[in-house]
Structure 1
């Protein structure tokens, strides 16, 4: 199978995204914090694998001041930027095989495994890095996206190799030996801080209206939500 990891190490992924998705860090960090607090998860160390420029880790370290935080990414471009911005946090470059990642109490993989060719094998390896794992999984499969051909666009623009619904995302985690403790929707279409467009604003109107009755149905029709999942 072809390896697409060069796009993350040669700077082309940063060029494609412009921000390494830093604008989404605040809402992701809020949901991670809520999952940990709501489920009374106590921890001394937390790792963010695929940390990008480290903003999620920065926000979580502010919320849990007594814990130790380490960020890992496969590209030195990201970890160098993270070290420059957040001098008091630790950032390391790691391989895709996770051999360089130390064991922690909690490990995060936020919008990561959909980029990995052997995502099932990767999840089985990631499972052993911590007692508690939190995954953020984009849900690319929905009626609107299939009709408009967005799956191919996601593959080309941000490197998604695998596509999930709520059901297949949870089943994938269970099939790789995880026990689901809790999960929740994250509404990137509304919570993300990236630049809005007229097209997105118009699309959010029916998305919001249908979600008042059922978020699950709105996601199936229009997309715009992802899953944040706490596992053991």
Structure 2
């Protein structure tokens, strides 16, 4: 995928990404925020500042703003003008949004969130490393696009066209990527978007019965075979 095509997808007003995803996946944000809360509740972190890189419509931060400690300040960065038009309406005390390149900012935070972002970035190793320097703790939400089911149903190329994924992961390669970026893995959980979100395609929902059954028996095997999961990883 050429750089110019990536710019066309995200960086222009009325972008291709907005045309394909007019809500910017805002409807999934309460669920994603809940997953972050779940992971944070398992790990006692002392936080006063949280930043999200690639914050999109800003609703994840908006949800966390209302649910986490009232002393925490939240900041969202996104290069897309379309995303910023959506996020800036949520600005309030302790919650700010910027249409700026995060990598160019001389800033530091306690926690950095990167939710379904680096699979869109050409040099994702460099992007992860450079962003990670700006926070003590990092949480990554990574779609696990590679599964037996997704390969058989040719879903990977469809995702490339509709949501712009240009890198694809399974659990082991996702974890290895973060380790290769010199990050320490503190904790992780699977997130079951296919099972828990109601706005998924009919073909995806068809597999939810075996997903529910086999995930209880062998989570790793279930994720590799049936797909429909992402992984949420806390690092330092």
TM tier relative to shorter chain: over 0.9
1:7 counterpart = 2:13: no
Q: Structure 2 matches for 1:137-216, cutoff 5 A?
A: 137-194=142-199, 196-216=200-220
Q: 1:77 — aligned with what?
A: 82
Please list the CA deviations of residues 29-49 of structure 1 after superposition, one character each: whole Å capped at 9, or x if unmatched: 112122222210111100011
Tell me: CA distance 1:184–1:101, structure 2 relative to 1, closer, same or farther (3 Å).
Answer: farther
Tell me: CA distance 1:76–1:87, structure 2 relative to 1, closer, same or farther (3 Å).
Answer: farther
Please point out which of 18, 25, 39 is paired with 1:21. 25
Q: State the superposition RMSD in angstroms.
A: 1.6
Further displaced range: 214-223 or 5-14: 5-14
Please list the CA deviations of residues 186-205 of structure 1 after superposition, one character each: whole Å capped at 9, or x if unmatched: 000122242x4543332212
TM-score of the superposed pair, with normalisation by structure 2: 0.92
Describe the SS at the equivalent of 2:18: helix
For structure 2, which runs of at least 5 residues remain unmatched after alignment?
none
Describe the SS at the equivalent of 1:108: strand
Q: 2:96 — aligned with what?
A: 90
Q: Judge conservation of contact 2:191–2:229 (CA < 8 Å) in 1.
A: yes
TM-score of the superposed pair, with normalisation by structure 1: 0.93
Distance across 2 between alignment mates of 1:168 and 1:129 = 24
Shift of 1:225: 0.8
Q: Judge conservation of contact 1:54–1:86 (CA < 8 Å) in 2.
A: no
The structure 1 segments of at least 4 consecutive aligned residues displaced by more than 6 Å after TM superposition are none
Further displaced range: 178-187 or 59-68: 59-68
Please point out which of 209, 214, 223 is paired with 2:227. 223
Aligned length in residues: 230
For structure 1, which runs of at least 5 residues remain unmatched after alignment?
none
Describe the SS at the equivalent of 1:5: helix
Please point out which of 24, 48, 51 is paired with 2:52. 48
